[in-house]
Amino acid sequence: MDKPNTLIAFAVTSVLAAGTAAADNAAGVDTSGWECESCPFQTDYEAEAEIGVLYVDEDSAKYGEYNGLDQKGAYADVNANGGSRNESGTYYRYDMRDLGLDTREAEFVFGKEGMVEATLSYDELPHRIWDTTVTPYQRSGKDTLVLPSGWIPAGSTGGMTALAGSLSNVDIGTDRTTIGAGLDYLFGSNLKLFADFSRQEIEGRKLGSANFLFSSLQLPEPVDAAHDQIEIGATYRWKSGFTRLAWYGSIYDNALTGMTFDNPYVPIASDTVQGRKALAPDNKAQTYSLDGNFLLPWWQGVVSYRLAEGTMDQDESFLPFSTSAGLSATAMLPRSNLAGDVSTSHYRATLSLKPHPRIRARVGYRYDERDDGTRPFTSAFVDDDSLPAPAATSLRYGYERTLYDGFGEVKVLDWLYLGLGGEFDEIDRSNQASKQTQEEGSYVQVRMRPWSSIELSGRYGQSHIDAGDYVVTPGLPPENPLLRKFNQTNRDRDYSEVRVGWSPWKLSIALEGTYAFDAYRLSPLGLRSGRDYRYAGTVSWPVSEKTSVYLSGSYQNIATEQAGEEVFPSTANLWLVTHEDEFTTAGGGIVWNDVAGKVDVTLDYTYAKSRGLVDTVASPQSSAGAFPKLETELNSLRLSASYDVNERLRVGAGWTWEDYDSSDWQIAGVGPSTLPNVLSMSPDPYQYSVNVVGVSFSYRFGKSSAAEE
């Protein structure tokens, strides 16, 4: 709870209680034995502990992706929370969850009301990605992957005679651990000083890739990094607003500057028996910010603002020029490290006004700048530790963005509101395809409430991007001027949305629909059009004070068209490709409380399906046909029940069934040697059917709440 608000609530409660007591005593009523039955302040010690067990009947990395329930077997389910507060305002509380799982977390808070509060936190988060992957590589040290001693290199995977016997299972995933600490200190009811710190450590493996010219491979790339974040600042509140001044710092420390791996193929350069790739470099960032808002003395005006200046630095040492001694002898590194230096600026302000009871308006301004001050350099390059490549000059990319937006609404009738809005967005870029783009957009909005049970709103708008001339960057090979990046070329957009809220009888119905169409009329090649529409609805029904039911569903369709050419620079023989993605969701559930006075039951069902189709036309005269469909389907059913044995002891039970099926032609059936020039780790499309059952016992300690008494 926010400290000033707590102080205000305490003061108001005290004044009201004192006034009521004085009036009652004046009437001769004895209040000495009265107790507060609705005070929000906890006194004495109260706690709740829960212990239980979960059982999972199938191994599945996908099901346990973020919950840690990825392996068949039993898991402990342990939770606890509690705290105490005394009459002097000193308090503490704790909350510990999932102590027996890989998602365990805990938070401890202690302080003195209106003066100081300190927080300590800890949490773990697993990310299980693949449990079907295999590799011939073994880890040697923290940053080196080696092949078995009997490995025989070959020009293709089919010739790797030691491959089948060298494969071993390796799971892909990471574990993240975060510890945090925070301190808030109040000077009176206006000024608060704060400091927050967190350290995040990530370890594990991810599915990495590398190549030796035209031959590729997948690798269990090691992950071992830490990220420290700290924020220090002050917030000052007064009657008509607040302001907040803060400094934020970020330090990313990767224990692995690079990864070295054996070459499974016959090397193109005779001494390229290993490859090497750089990993995410150590870096630092900091931001100074000032933000807040304040009330104006007229037209119910409110001004909100944010000013921020930041820097980013990166001075990680470059890796050696090449693993090949012969190639390294032909060139030298331009300098020892990048000495990266980027500065950022962000300014934002919004003014909201209500000059008349029937009129409200809002205008906004935003400015962003990214200035890359890194000193450029020119260097020779090596293609995949295999062949020398021409020298190239590093380029610095930056931009300035200015955005104006506004909206106004008029109450025409008691049930009818009309609104009009728009924006202007200008971006100036350096060393990119378009030096400048300008986007202008406007929309009209209608809100209606013709009857108390019905509310409707709708919006229709258009926007247009006007891109500058195609820019040829010195030092880089010329690009096809007919092929433009989708965000740096002319684009026309039409969009609309409709929302309906209806509350007949006890029902509550919400419906919505959105539509958008993008046309890239000056892009003969590349992305030419895009369309997106979505429908969604929810129905809820409070059958009684103890029972409620809900249903929900949605459908979304996204389609795009792209074009390419067979012979540059002619567009006589275009090839076309269309992408279409569909997403369907549905769900429902029931909550039934106080069954027979002591049982609570919850039932939820979720269905989700997606479909992706890629269709190609090689030329106007011939069709290349469609790729196989990409599909996923999810069914999830959750049932839980709890029984209050008494006012302190509760017994709970639950069952979850989840079935997931996917088809992905990009990886289905692709084993380590299926493709001659790709040594694959053979991840399989996700498929599982998992049941999880559990039982738990929770007990409340300390003084019972007033509501229970």
DSSP per residue over 175-242, as a string?
A: EEEEEEEEEEEEETTTEEEEEEEEEEEEEEEEEEEEEETTEEEEEEEEEEEEEEEEEEEEEEEETTEE
* Structural contact between residues 554 and 570, judged by C-beta atoms closer than 8 angstroms: no
Which tops the pLDDT comparison, 184 or 27? 184
Number of H helices, E strands in the chain: 3, 36
Asked if pLDDT for residue 375 goes beyond 70, the answer is yes
Quote the pLDDT of residue 488.
87
**Low-confidence winner among 4-18, 175-189, 259-273, 558-572 (lowest mean pLDDT):** 4-18
Quote the pLDDT of residue 525.
86
**Low-confidence winner among 395-409, 482-496, 597-611, 674-688 (lowest mean pLDDT):** 482-496
Quote the pLDDT of residue 166.
95
* Structural contact between residues 246 and 232, judged by C-beta atoms closer than 8 angstroms: yes
Quote the pLDDT of residue 623.
52
Asked if pLDDT for residue 191 goes beyond 80, the answer is yes
Q: How confident is the model at residue 487 (pLDDT cuts 50, 70, 90)?
A: confident
Q: Calculate mean pLDDT across residues 366-386.
A: 89
Q: Calculate mean pLDDT across residues 388-405.
A: 88
Asked if pLDDT for residue 251 goes beyond 70, the answer is yes
Q: Give the tens place of pLDDT for each residue, 125-172.
A: 999 999 999 999 999 989 999 999 999 999 999 999 999 999 999 999
**Low-confidence winner among 156-165, 326-335, 626-635 (lowest mean pLDDT):** 326-335
What is the rounded distance in angstroms from the CA atom of residue 340 to the CA atom of residue 342? 7
138: β partners: 146
Quote the pLDDT of residue 4.
37
Rg of the chain, C-alpha, whole Å: 32
Quote the pLDDT of residue 9.
34
Which tops the pLDDT comparison, 239 or 473? 239
Q: Give the tens place of pLDDT for each residue, 576-616.
A: 899 999 999 999 999 999 888 889 999 999 999 999 999 88
Q: Calculate mean pLDDT across residues 199-219.
A: 95
Q: Give the tens place of pLDDT for each residue, 255-314.
A: 999 999 999 999 887 788 999 999 999 999 999 999 999 999 999 999 999 999 999 999
Quote the pLDDT of residue 477.
63
Q: How confident is the model at residue 68 (pLDDT cuts 50, 70, 90)?
A: very high
Quote the pLDDT of residue 476.
62
What is the rounded distance in angstroms from the CA atom of residue 430 to the CA atom of residue 398? 5
The mean pLDDT of the chain is 89
Which tops the pLDDT comparison, 34 or 258? 258
Asked if pLDDT for residue 628 goes beyond 50, the answer is yes
Give the three-class secondary structure for 327.
helix
- Identify the burial level of 281 via C-beta atoms within 10 angstroms of its C-beta, where 0-12 means exposed, 13-18 middle and 19 or more buried: middle
What is the rounded distance in angstroms from the CA atom of residue 57 to the CA atom of residue 60? 10
Quote the pLDDT of residue 705.
44
Quote the pLDDT of residue 617.
77
Q: Calculate mean pLDDT across residues 701-709.
A: 56
**Measured between alpha carbons, how far is residue 519 from residues 83, 173, 538, 613, 700 in Å?**
59, 40, 32, 21, 61
Phi and psi, residue 396, nearest 5°: -105, 130
Quote the pLDDT of residue 373.
92
Q: Calculate mean pLDDT across residues 660-679.
A: 94
Q: Calculate mean pLDDT across residues 517-531.
A: 91
Quote the pLDDT of residue 14.
32
- Identify the burial level of 222 via C-beta atoms within 10 angstroms of its C-beta, where 0-12 means exposed, 13-18 middle and 19 or more buried: buried
Q: Calculate mean pLDDT across residues 572-578.
A: 81
Quote the pLDDT of residue 595.
86
Give the three-class secondary structure for 559.
strand
What is the rounded distance in angstroms from the CA atom of residue 562 to the CA atom of residue 560? 7
Percent of the residues in the chain that have a pLDDT greater than 90, as a whole number: 74
Asked if pLDDT for residue 37 goes beyond 60, the answer is no
Cα 71 off chain centre by: 26
| Peptide bond between residue 569 and the one before it cis (omega within 30 degrees of 0) | yes
Asked if pLDDT for residue 664 goes beyond 70, the answer is yes
Quote the pLDDT of residue 323.
86
What is the rounded distance in angstroms from the CA atom of residue 423 to the CA atom of residue 443? 9
Instruction: Find the angle CA(155)-CA(222)-CA(685) to the nearest 5 degrees.
Output: 70
Q: How confident is the model at residue 27 (pLDDT cuts 50, 70, 90)?
A: very low
Quote the pLDDT of residue 325.
83
